[in-house]
Structure 1
Amino acid sequence: MTWSRVASAVAGLVLLVAPVPAAAQERRAGPPVTVPALSDWAPGEGSYVFARGARIVARDKKSLQVADTLADDLRAAGRGAVPVVRGTARAGDIVVDIDPSVARLGAEGYELRVGTRLSITGRTDTGAFYGTRTLLQLLAQGDRVPAGRAVDVPEFGERGVGVCACYVHISTEWLENLVRDMAYHKLNQLLLELKVKSDAHPEANTWGYYTKDEIRRLVALGEKYHVEIIPEINSPGHMDPWIENRPDLQLTDSDGVKQPSRLDVTQQAAFDYYTSLIDEYAQVFPAASWHMGADEYMLGSDFAKYPQILRYARDKYGADATPQDAFIDFVNRVHAYAASKGKKLRIWNDGLTGANTVPVTAGTTIEHWLDVAVKPSRLIARGYPVMNAAYALYLVRGGFHSDTEGLYDQSWDPRGFEGEKLASRDGVTGAKISLWPDNGRGETENEVAVALDPALRHIAQATWGSPHPDATYAEFTARAQAVGHAPGWRDLTRVPLADGTYTLRSGGVTGDFQVARTADGYLTLRSAASGRCLETRSGRITLNVPLEPGSAVTEETCAASNTLQRWVPVPVPGGYEFVNAITRMAVHITDGGRLVQYPPDQREPAVWRVTAR
């Protein structure tokens, strides 16, 4: 080949690899990165650039609340004060519109149009709100959003997280983070099993409870961010947090032994007690649903040990009735009571073994977590709404963790139940992940948060759209990392005290302690005098956690793996309070100078003046 021919070939090669104009690159690119992924994206030419002078234009009064929330979140994301205005949009603006006539968007979908300005349209305020979550995710990655158009509508109506704050107490800061991140990823249902401090039944106020004001603040945050918070009091099993001091309501076995975890379904007083709790919870939970659990009533036992249950069933339903019918009867009476209060009932599935002759009342939503004889397809065929709460989606403190990578690689979606894979979405309301504290000290809240992140993003993706938007799980996790956490999310691992030795003084008690931060974002407090670490270990133990108010805080042999030796320093005027990472009770000093733990609403936490040595 002559030199001239080589030069000509090289020139041609250069032409082939010459840079593509930016606008053309943007047109060729796939959808911008979000979680859940945008499945219906038509690229345009150019881009929208968020810059100084941007405004949020609310098309009408209905759009104002969504626009105001977006402005709050832009400020929390470090984008400054973006004004909310009415009127005509101009280049650089963000337009929020609610148009009830756009039927294709359904109750939660939205349309996103990106050009010299960016517009979000929903048929409802919820749909428009979800469009603003997409915008926040895009702006978390930079000021420029590629031009194009997306119509984004969820596949399933229930997209949730279940949290059992039963027995133990989970900090409200942690729950607030969860609500924000759920909304950011378009999850709409937080199912909370917890205890609200009762005015009607003060004998039930063992620790683990939340005050009504705490719940009101959490519910208000959920309402702002379109996350419905549905309460659960598990019944008639797992009732010991409520009736351990009410033996008159406890089921008695044939040997005369009381069962503190089981409500006696044959007693009208037991039903009245339970419905009084529904009434009290209604003061702080406006949710349209009530979750009564109804799981594991005969856990570790069987109906044969309680002959009064069979007698009750046969007296009410005839000679062919089974003990299971008495259980279903209780569920159905709760259903009727909840319906009279404008609430729909939800239950777990494992009590529906097929041994009953009395059917569960129509309309009861069944959350399917365990593979029993009555399969999801049979429940759906009978007309029950069924939510997928598969055990494969659980995260248990110190125990089983969902294999999110494996589920993603299998393209798992809400049709995949324990024991059955359905061919159709019909009758499936959606799915949720569940967080359970079976070993309450097995992991700290911050450790749970790390494990939760990938599972939360996966359930958001699998319930909203395609279960497998990226070729590999690594690419999906990179997508999740790109969008990050919601504006206003707080890093609870940031400790306000540096490692070092300090003198702690409070109420006449003084000591020198070596402070060391733990990998999960807490402190250990090692006494300079004894070489031992502050810990709480005495009193009533539930789920491996000492939950008795007033029990001692003592110096014990230091162990890096001991979560009960981890503390949260809470800055307050004059110093710090120290809250145990597991019990969530604060250090209090008695009149005699002893260190004990108490909930903050029972005793004033000690305020420690902390001085570096």
Structure 2
Amino acid sequence: MGEFRKGLLRLLGVAAALTLLVAPSPAVAQDREKAPVTVPALSNWVSGSGSYQYRNGARLVADSPAGRRVADTLADDLRAAGHGTVPVVSGGARTGDIVIDVRPATPSLGAEGYELRAGKWLSVTGATETGAFYGTRTVLQLLAQGDRIPAGRTVDVPRYKERGVGVCACYIHISPPWLENLVREMAYHKLNQLLLELKVKSDAHPEADTWGYYTKDEIRGLVTLGDKYHVEIIPEINSPGHMDPWIENRPDLQLTDSDGNKQPARLDVTQQAAFDYYTSLMDEYAQVFTAKAWHMGADEYMLGSDYSKYPQMLRYARLKYGANATPQDAYIDFINRVQAYAARKGKQLRIWNDGLTGANTVPVAAGTTVEHWLDVTTKPSQLIAQGHPLMNAAYSLYLVRGGFHSDTKALYDQSWDPRSFEGEKLTSSKGVTGAKISLWPDNGRGETENEVAVELWPALRHIAQATWGDPHPDATYAEFTARGTAVGRAPGRRDPTRLPVADGTYTFRTAGTSFDAQVQRTADGYATVRTADGCLEVRGGRLTLNVPLQPGAQATARTCDPANTLQRWQLEPAAGGYRLVNAITQMALSVTDDGHLVQYPPDQHTPAVWHPTAH
């Protein structure tokens, strides 16, 4: 089918070229294969004569409601990119216009493909609103390189339907502006899934509202942005393992070993109360997330012989499935009950693969999407044969704070594509939904958000290329990275490295206290705040992933250390002054009655607003 589709697109390109081009010169004929630079690359560009010129007076022409929505977003992005204010109109096109057309009667474009024609005007056509939207991302990338676009035509259709980024904002809080930047960059590169493991502040279970959460309004804002930019934001509450952010204050739901020891990260799947608790969280997330999928994680629940420490697992499995059942059947049973619950709510379940070791008699419900990251006994080809859509989430695609970073150059040089799983390379893409890169906070203070962003963008562009089109469009990795330089960053992206005050010495004043400090920009775009006694640093309280995440932990002066990320601060504008927000904990400083500086989430304690006066 893949070769047939490529052949069909080539034929369509030739046919269109006959109507678009008039007596092409030999020079034009030689230039047919030189497509304009984009990421992902255009693979079937047919050159024409002349060029399209973007100039003052250009309009966005759209007649259908779907086309106008795409045009409105493009108008916002053109303005953000410095291309001026462009009106959205209906009717016929004139020279210099950009036409947005959604034609459901063009099934060859699929759910996300588009056709782009450049001549006297630009035209973008999609069979769906999403397809037309992706065509406008190509327009923006081309205009980022200049106002003149060579005449020609392309039909651009993705090879894989799932093109993603996974982010664990599950322990270390990631700032909403950083996530918003990510959504814009993903859309700019035609990635369509942000798989987000995080905690939403719970009204139903306030005992779980320890720090690391997002408010529902923050999530609503992020989901609205994702909808605008056609990035589906799929939430994850990892279970039944890694549940400590949710059940650390619920020992009644924690799995207990044969010695009576509670396991705060493991949910006791043999209890109906545990299932009810988890599904109530799913219902609460449904108040803010609109995705048609639910990620339950299901990774790293048990390791090897650990099941033997929990005899209740075997008792539960045999009571429900008979004498031949195994302890792992109790774990699979929990997955399948969540799957059935999600299906009743109109959502498809997703899980990681590492728990599917084959030591079970109960199969995982067919249709459950499996994200494959670890080479275990059950291979990718077996999972596909068992009826599971399979996403490649290989460990080689990981970026770990303070740890392993994906070797993007090596992957590109190997022509890596989503068929290359850990432990098995498939010969066919049938059953493979796509691939994603994953960001993990294992050493939460190992890198700041800004440092993570620097590592992320090459990997993001690579996964966009490998999931949309030819995984190796350029002869060298240097040529491929040059594409990223040429297209630049997404319009509307906020620059997180710009400090609102200059380096220098200031008196910081707020109600009831003041202190003198030297502000100095760090290489990653934060600031150190150096007093006479040392650099301001958050210390104390319980550490999570090597980070003092406890609300109320103090900020005190310590020996200055340029490598210490806990000494880096953001100055966030607020009410005529600035909040001091730690770059790692993402909590703002408040002042106690006795004058101590302490960190709190902004919805728990009103942050101090500091008014710096330069010396």
TM-score tier, shorter chain, comes to: over 0.9
SS at match of 1:69: helix
Q: Which residue of 1 aligns with 2:9?
A: none
CA distance in 1, matches of 2:325, 2:65: 57
Deviations 1:457-485 (A, max 9, x none): 00000000000000000000000110011
- Alignment-mate amino acid for residue 360 of structure 1: V
CA distance in 2, matches of 1:364, 1:29: 41
- Alignment-mate amino acid for residue 96 of structure 2: G
SS at match of 2:464: helix
Deviations 1:359-395 (A, max 9, x none): 0001100000000000000111111100000000000
Q: Which residue of 2 aligns with 1:548?
A: 550
Q: Which residue of 2 aligns with 1:587?
A: 589
- Alignment-mate amino acid for residue 562 of structure 1: N
CA distance in 2, matches of 1:420, 1:97: 42
- Alignment-mate amino acid for residue 582 of structure 1: I
Kindly indicate whether the alpha-carbon contact (under 8 Å) linking 2:33 and 2:45 is maintained by their aligned counterparts in 1: no
Kindly indicate whether the alpha-carbon contact (under 8 Å) linking 2:33 and 2:46 is maintained by their aligned counterparts in 1: no
Deviations 1:19-78 (A, max 9, x none): x99984994560000000000110000000000110000032221100110001101111
Of 131, 135, 138, the match for 1:131: 135
Of 211, 217, 222, the match for 2:221: 217
Q: Which residue of 2 aligns with 1:4?
A: none
- Alignment-mate amino acid for residue 611 of structure 1: T
**What is the deviation of 1:507?**
1.8
Of 481, 500, 512, the match for 1:496: 500
Deviations 1:180-232 (A, max 9, x none): 00000000000000000000000000000000000000000000000000000
SS at match of 1:561: coil
- Alignment-mate amino acid for residue 579 of structure 2: E
Of 435, 442, 458, the match for 1:438: 442
Equivalences for 1:376-525 in 2 at 5 Å?
A: 376-525=380-529
SS at match of 1:491: coil
CA distance in 2, matches of 1:101, 1:394: 40
Kindly indicate whether the alpha-carbon contact (under 8 Å) linking 1:23 and 1:45 is maintained by their aligned counterparts in 2: no
Q: Does 1:284 align with 2:291?
A: no
CA distance in 1, matches of 2:105, 2:47: 25
CA distance in 2, matches of 1:245, 1:22: 74
**What is the deviation of 1:495?**
0.9
SS at match of 1:194: strand
Kindly indicate whether the alpha-carbon contact (under 8 Å) linking 2:510 and 2:608 is maintained by their aligned counterparts in 1: yes
- Alignment-mate amino acid for residue 207 of structure 2: E
Kindly indicate whether the alpha-carbon contact (under 8 Å) linking 1:314 and 1:322 is maintained by their aligned counterparts in 2: yes
After TM superposition, the score normalised by the length of structure 2 is: 0.95
- Alignment-mate amino acid for residue 498 of structure 1: A
**What is the deviation of 1:298?**
1.3
Equivalences for 1:346-365 in 2 at 5 Å?
A: 346-365=350-369
Q: Which residue of 2 aligns with 1:195?
A: 199
CA distance in 2, matches of 1:38, 1:516: 44
Of 138, 147, 156, the match for 1:143: 147
Deviations 1:243-270 (A, max 9, x none): 0000000000000000000000000000
**What is the deviation of 1:168?**
1.2
**What is the deviation of 1:508?**
2.2
The farther-off stretch of 503-512 and 364-373 is 503-512
Q: Which residue of 2 aligns with 1:90?
A: 94
- Alignment-mate amino acid for residue 240 of structure 1: D
Q: Which residue of 1 aligns with 2:10?
A: none
Q: Does 1:36 align with 2:36?
A: no
Q: Which residue of 2 aligns with 1:12?
A: none
> Radius of gyration: which is bigger?
1
**What is the deviation of 1:574?**
2.5
- Alignment-mate amino acid for residue 174 of structure 2: I
SS at match of 2:236: strand
Q: Which residue of 1 aligns with 2:317?
A: 313
TM-aligned CA distance change 1:46 to 1:27, over 3 Å: farther
Once the two structures are aligned, what percentage of the paired residues are identical?
76
Q: Which residue of 1 aligns with 2:163?
A: 159
TM-aligned CA distance change 1:429 to 1:28, over 3 Å: closer
Kindly indicate whether the alpha-carbon contact (under 8 Å) linking 1:23 and 1:46 is maintained by their aligned counterparts in 2: no
- Alignment-mate amino acid for residue 378 of structure 2: V
The farther-off stretch of 500-509 and 297-306 is 297-306
Q: Which residue of 2 aligns with 1:100?
A: 104
SS at match of 2:602: coil
CA distance in 2, matches of 1:301, 1:547: 33
- Alignment-mate amino acid for residue 200 of structure 1: A
The farther-off stretch of 294-303 and 268-277 is 294-303
- Alignment-mate amino acid for residue 396 of structure 2: A
Kindly indicate whether the alpha-carbon contact (under 8 Å) linking 1:534 and 1:555 is maintained by their aligned counterparts in 2: yes
Ranges in structure 2 where 5+ consecutive residues have no aligned partner? 1-23
Q: Which residue of 2 aligns with 1:565?
A: 567
TM-aligned CA distance change 1:299 to 1:196, over 3 Å: farther
Moved over 4 A (4+): 20-29
CA distance in 2, matches of 1:184, 1:45: 28
- Alignment-mate amino acid for residue 516 of structure 2: D
**What is the deviation of 1:540?**
1.4
The farther-off stretch of 161-170 and 571-580 is 571-580
Equivalences for 1:171-182 in 2 at 5 Å?
A: 171-182=175-186
**What is the deviation of 1:600?**
0.6
Ranges in structure 1 where 5+ consecutive residues have no aligned partner? 1-19
- Alignment-mate amino acid for residue 128 of structure 2: T
Q: Which residue of 2 aligns with 1:534?
A: 536
- Alignment-mate amino acid for residue 98 of structure 2: I
TM-aligned CA distance change 1:178 to 1:124, over 3 Å: same
Of 326, 330, 339, the match for 2:330: 326
Q: Which residue of 2 aligns with 1:601?
A: 603
TM-aligned CA distance change 1:299 to 1:505, over 3 Å: farther
TM-aligned CA distance change 1:80 to 1:22, over 3 Å: farther
CA distance in 1, matches of 2:304, 2:372: 20
Kindly indicate whether the alpha-carbon contact (under 8 Å) linking 2:116 and 2:155 is maintained by their aligned counterparts in 1: yes
TM-aligned CA distance change 1:265 to 1:572, over 3 Å: same
**Aligned length, in residue pairs:** 592
Kindly indicate whether the alpha-carbon contact (under 8 Å) linking 2:60 and 2:98 is maintained by their aligned counterparts in 1: yes
Kindly indicate whether the alpha-carbon contact (under 8 Å) linking 2:53 and 2:96 is maintained by their aligned counterparts in 1: yes
CA distance in 2, matches of 1:474, 1:525: 39
- Alignment-mate amino acid for residue 293 of structure 1: G
- Alignment-mate amino acid for residue 607 of structure 1: V
- Alignment-mate amino acid for residue 393 of structure 1: L
Q: Does 1:63 align with 2:63?
A: no
Kindly indicate whether the alpha-carbon contact (under 8 Å) linking 1:98 and 1:124 is maintained by their aligned counterparts in 2: yes
Kindly indicate whether the alpha-carbon contact (under 8 Å) linking 1:517 and 1:524 is maintained by their aligned counterparts in 2: yes
CA distance in 1, matches of 2:503, 2:175: 24
- Alignment-mate amino acid for residue 181 of structure 1: E
SS at match of 1:302: helix
CA distance in 1, matches of 2:303, 2:345: 30
Kindly indicate whether the alpha-carbon contact (under 8 Å) linking 1:26 and 1:45 is maintained by their aligned counterparts in 2: no
Q: Which residue of 2 aligns with 1:257?
A: 261
TM-aligned CA distance change 1:597 to 1:45, over 3 Å: same
CA distance in 2, matches of 1:67, 1:287: 24
- Alignment-mate amino acid for residue 541 of structure 1: L
CA distance in 2, matches of 1:261, 1:204: 13
RMSD of the alignment, in Å?
1.3
TM-aligned CA distance change 1:60 to 1:245, over 3 Å: same
- Alignment-mate amino acid for residue 588 of structure 1: S
The farther-off stretch of 430-439 and 22-31 is 22-31
CA distance in 2, matches of 1:142, 1:379: 47
